[in-house]
Amino acid sequence: MHSTIRKPNVILCLVPALFTLMIQDPIMAQTASDACSYAGASQYTVNTSCSYQTFDKPGSFGADMNPSGCSGSNNDDAFGWFTATGTSTTITYNPDDSHNAIIHLFSGACGSLSNLACADANGNGGNETITYATTIGTNYLVRVQRSGTNSSMDGRLCIWSVPPPPANDDPCGATALTLGSSCTFTSYSNVGATGTSGIPAPGCGSYFGEDVWFSFVAPASGAVAIRTTAGSITNLSMALYSATACNGTFTLVQCDANNGPGNMPFLSFSSVDLVVGQTYYLRVWESGGGTGTFNLCANTSPTAGVGECLYTLRMNDSQGDGWGGSTVSVQIGAGTCYQLYLEHG
């Protein structure tokens, strides 16, 4: 027995003692339109770097307008559009087969478009590029034609914009951390962040820039723990600085790249490390460079008791089972009474 059941995009073949299921996913792609249009199918994605998307002008397309500038003419044209995600956007068209492309950029409604910019600088087979100061959230229309002819032209379009830097890109915009009695993680991002100049090198974590900043005021107990967990970033680093002001002289206190879970950092401090009431600045970046998301929390602990903290031991759950299989041995010399304080978290 052999039979075949067919449905759209799904082919199910039945043979004795064997079932084969093949699912064909529809290909979703942008398509240039024959005329000025803001239809969804002709909307192109704005990426954070140049990533080409198909943009063809078939021979069946007609002429829709005769724009001024860059040798624009009343020849067959193709259109696509995008919504700006940054304050500067770059549009590049890459034609096939040594064709000579001309591109124009417009804003406004079809029928009352504003001609903003154009490009026709590189001749046959050359890429044509426009970089324009865009307004975030505004729609823009891209027109492509082949120079001086109605013949078809296949090619690719890339539209990209570097996102604006986050508010905490520099120390004076540092995100203030509230030091609670327990750790409550919050998700943060360093997408769009730039490197900070004039600050001493962190000394760990392969720093290549793209850092973001946090700040906190050292509490009365002097005890602060800063924890992280992975988001899209799985290899994070952070460094704590003291400073005379957010734009003043910075001094490195401590740097860590992997004392937390996996390749994530962890920092802890006592009253010996921090000056009560002083503002400290925390620098965070992806080890080796890169951007994404991460989770961070900072908390303080109640005062451990009267007396000076003589020694701080940072402990790690080596078995990874929540301390179920990890042990710690402490041996203290006789003759003096000590208070042992354990912060767990």
Q: Cβ–Cβ contacts within 10 Å for residue 323, how many? A: 13
Residues 156 and 196 grouped into a single domain: no
48 occurs within a structural domain:
yes
204 occurs within a structural domain:
yes
Residues 252 and 182 grouped into a single domain: yes
Residues 89 and 155 grouped into a single domain: yes
DSSP 41: G
Residues 241 and 153 grouped into a single domain: no
Residues 191 and 152 grouped into a single domain: no
Which one of 160, 191, 209 terminates a domain? 160
Domain that holds residue 246: 171-300
Per-residue pLDDT of the chain (345 residues; tens, 9 = 90+): 444 334 344 333 333 333 333 333 333 356 788 889 898 889 999 998 899 999 999 989 998 889 999 999 999 999 999 999 989 999 999 998 889 999 999 999 998 999 999 999 999 989 999 999 999 999 999 999 999 999 999 999 999 998 889 999 999 999 999 999 999 999 999 988 999 999 999 999 999 999 999 999 999 998 999 999 999 999 999 999 999 999 999 999 999 999 999 999 999 998 889 999 999 999 999 999 999 999 999 999 654 444 445 455 556 655 555 556 555 555 555 544 444 555 554
Residues 206 and 293 grouped into a single domain: yes
287 occurs within a structural domain:
yes
CATH number at residue 233: 2.60.120.380
CA distances from 13 to 6, 9, 18, 25, 322 (A): 8, 13, 9, 17, 50
User: Which are the contacts of 247, defined by CB distance < 8 A and separation ≥ 6?
Assistant: 171, 172
165 occurs within a structural domain:
no
Residues 234 and 127 grouped into a single domain: no
Q: Is-contact 128 92, C-beta < 8 A?
A: yes
320 occurs within a structural domain:
no
345 occurs within a structural domain:
no
Residues 182 and 243 grouped into a single domain: yes
Nearest to 304 by CA among 332, 335, 268, 252: 268
Rg (CA), the chain: 30
User: Which are the contacts of 151, defined by CB distance < 8 A and separation ≥ 6?
Assistant: 59
Domains held by the chain: number: 2
Residues 143 and 185 grouped into a single domain: no
| pTM of the full structure | 0.59
65 occurs within a structural domain:
yes
Residues 284 and 190 grouped into a single domain: yes
3-state helix, strand, coil in the chain (%, to 5): 0, 35, 60
Residues 290 and 209 grouped into a single domain: yes
132 occurs within a structural domain:
yes
